[in-house]
Amino acid sequence: MIPLLSSIPFIVHFSLSVLAAVRLLYRKLEVNTTLAWLFLLFGLPVVGVVLYVLFGDHRLGQRRMKMGERLRSFFMQVFNVQEASLPPNVAGTPRYEALSRSILADSGFPVLAGLSPQFFTDAGELYAVMQADIDAAQESICLEFYILDPAGQVANVLAAVERAAQRGVDCKILADDFGSKPFFRSHWPKRLRKAGVQIVRSLRVNLFSSFFRRSDLRNHRKLLVCDQRVGYVGSYNLADPKLFKANRGVGQWVDMMMRVEGPVVDALTSVCLSDYLLDNVGYQISRADLNALPIARCAEAGEGIPVSMQVLPSGPEMRNSTIYEVLVSAIFSAQKRLRIVSPYFIPDPAVQLALVSAAKRGVEVEIIVPERLDSRLAQFASQSSYRELLRAGVRLIRYRGGLLHTKLVLVDDEVSLFGTVNIDMRSFFLNLELTMVIYDAATSAALWEHSGSYLPDSVPLDPESWAKRPEWHQFLENILRLASPIL
C-alpha cells in the first residue's frame, strides 16, 4: 500500500508533464526552446510544471486573437479606410513594397496618410500640446499607456481629461495593471470615474489569471487619440521624467513622441478601442458594445503634408510575430546606413546575425543605447552581444545624458520604425507593442537629425577596451542573457 501511495505524486507529475510536453510539440517552438522546457518539465518535479503554467505560453489565447482580428476588420470597414499609395522613392523598391504587404496581411492595416507628423522630445512641451488637444476634444478621448504615474506634470493632463468628461466627452483610460500601479493606488481613478471617465486595468495581474495565461504579459503601448482626429504614439509613458524613478541614479528618462493627424489616426483609434473592448468586455463582444462606442466615419481628412505610414500592433494577441519579422527583414534590406536606438538591447541570434551581416557588407551600422539602465540585470544581459557586434564593425554608442528610452530604427533614408518596441525578446513576443512604419524620406531625415542629437552626450565603445573587462562580467552577461525574456 505504501509504495502505491508514494507513486501517486510521481504519476500526477508525470501525467502533467506529458500533457505540457504534447502542447509544446504542437506549438512548434524553436528546437532549443522546446528542449529546454522538456528538461524543466521532466527534470524538476512539480516546479517544472508550475513554471510552464506561469511562463510557458506567451499567447493570450485563440479567442482573443480571433476577436482582435474581427474588431480591427470591423473598424476599418466602419471608418471606410482607403489605402494610400506609397511615395515614389518607396514604390519602386521591391523590398519596401513587400514589407508593406506583409504588415497588411498580419495586422489588417494598409499604408495610410499621416498629415504633417510632429516629434516631441521635451516632456513639458509634449504634455502641454496633449493637454491642448484634450481640452479641444468634443466627442472622444482614448488614452492607452503602459505606465501612468499621476505625479508632476501628468496631473495636468489627467485634469484635462476630467474636464473633458465633465463637458460630455466620451473618455477612456486603458492602463497596464502592473506598470500603472502608482495611478491605480492614487486618488485619481475615483476622481476621474466620478467625472464619467471609463477606466480599465489592462492585462490584470492576479493569482487566478495566472492559471489561464502567462502572468507577466504586459500592455506596453503608449497611445492617445482625440476625436479620432489627432493621435500620439511613441516611447513616452505618461510619467513626469523629472520625478519618475528619480532615485535610480540613471538621470531623467529621454524619450520621443509623435503627434499626427489624418487617415492614419483611424488605425490608431482601432487599436485603442479594440484593446479597450477586449480588456473591459472580454471575448463575448456584442453589437450593443460596439454601438456604445463613439465611432464614426471621418468627414474630413484635414490639412497638412501627407506622409505614408503604417500602423503595426504586435504581441501575444497576434497570429504571427510580425514586428520581429519586419525588424529582421529591415536590417537585412539596409544598403547604406542603419541606426537603432533602444534602451533594452538584447538581440537574439537572428537579429544579431542580421546586424553582423549588414556591417560586413559595408552598411554603416550604429546602435545607440543608454550607458546606465534602471535594471542591472538587463544591463548585463544587453552587454553579452557587444563583443561580436564590435568585431563585425558595428558602432556601439552609449548615451550618458540620462536613461535613453527612445525606440527607433532607421533604414537608409527611406524607412523608419518608430514606437514602443525594444530590441529584445520581451518586446518581440511577450508585450503588446505599437510601431509606426514610416515610408518617407523627409521624415527619415528629421528622425536621423533628432537621434543625432544624442551623439554629443554619447561615447562610442572601443573594441579593445571592451575586450579587457573582467571575466566575471562576461560570465554574468552570458548567464543573464538566458533570462532576457523576463527582464
Catalytic amino acids? Answer: 220, 222, 227, 405, 407, 412
DSSP state of 83: P
- Give residues with Cβ within 8 angstroms of 470, minimum separation 6: none
Residue type, 368: I
Cell reading at 270: 482601432
Distances (CA, A) of 345 to 130, 248, 272, 389, 405: 29, 19, 27, 12, 11
Classified as helix, coil or strand, 2 is helix
Task: Give me the helix-helix angle, 31-43 and 2-27, nearest 10°.
Answer: 170
Nearest alpha carbon to residue 100 among 83, 117, 88: 83
How far from 204 is each of 134, 177, 317, 336, 368, CA to CA, in Å? 27, 5, 15, 44, 33
Taking Cα atoms as reference points, which of 142, 106, 75 lies closest to residue 317?
106
The residue with cell 528629421 is 446
Q: Can you spell out the DSSP letters for 12-79?
A: HHHHHHHHHHHHHHHHT--HHHHHHHHHHHHHSTTHHHHHHHHHT-----HHHHHHHHHHHHHHHHHT
The angle at the Cα of 75, spanning 69 to 78, to the nearest 5 degrees, equals 140
Instruction: Say how far residue 274 (Cα) sits from the centre of its chain.
Output: 16
> Residue 234 and residue 438: Cα distance in Å, rounded?
13
Residues 6+ apart with CB under 8 A from 301: 113, 115, 262, 263
DSSP letter at 300? -
Q: Around Cβ 82, how many Cβ atoms within 10 Å?
A: 11
* 174 neighbors 184 (Cβ within 8 angstroms): no
CB 84 within 8 A of CB 427: no
- Indicate the residue type of 310: Q
Closest CA to 351 of 438, 462, 428, 436: 428
Question: Distance from CA of residue 89 to its chain's centroid?
Answer: 28
CA distance 243 to 153: 9
